[in-house]
Amino acid sequence: MSYNLQFEPRSTFVYITVTGENSVDSKNGYLAEVHAWCLQHKYPNVLIVENLSGPGLGTYNIFELVSRKSTGASQVLGRLAYVDINPEHDPKAMEFAEDVAVNRGIPVRIFATVREAEMWLESQARI
């Protein structure tokens, strides 16, 4: 499990950057840390900008990871915006992850750019 997280609290959400290796262990680890941090600091709205090196995860691993991490997340999260900036990763896999999460009650959206994600989170805060 090799990753690095940076948390930058903003007025309506926390901006989180994750770098390191792309693996199931890394994703499990950093998502657990994000969950704990948001709970402790009371930040329900989250922007995760992920730049993990290596090939993307397969469909089975995505399904298992999202299914496991969804348990209890809806009590902590208000909105989750997610941007994967590694151009090697398949956007279709990210769409699949979004579908799995939304079907489990997680308010997540996948974005192609950080700016789009920021605008969505800011607009949701005004509602």
How confident is the model over 59-77, as pLDDT tens digits? Answer: 999 888 888 877 666 666 7
- Give the mean pLDDT of 27-41: 91
Alpha-helix runs per DSSP H in 1-127:
24-41, 59-70, 91-103, 114-125
Strand-pairing partners, residue 53, are 21
Strand-pairing partners, residue 50, are 18, 84
Q: Kindly report the pTM of this predicted structure.
A: 0.89
List domains and CATH numbers for the chain. 3-125 (3.30.750.24)
| % of the chain surpassing 90 pLDDT | 58
What pLDDT is attached to residue 125?
63
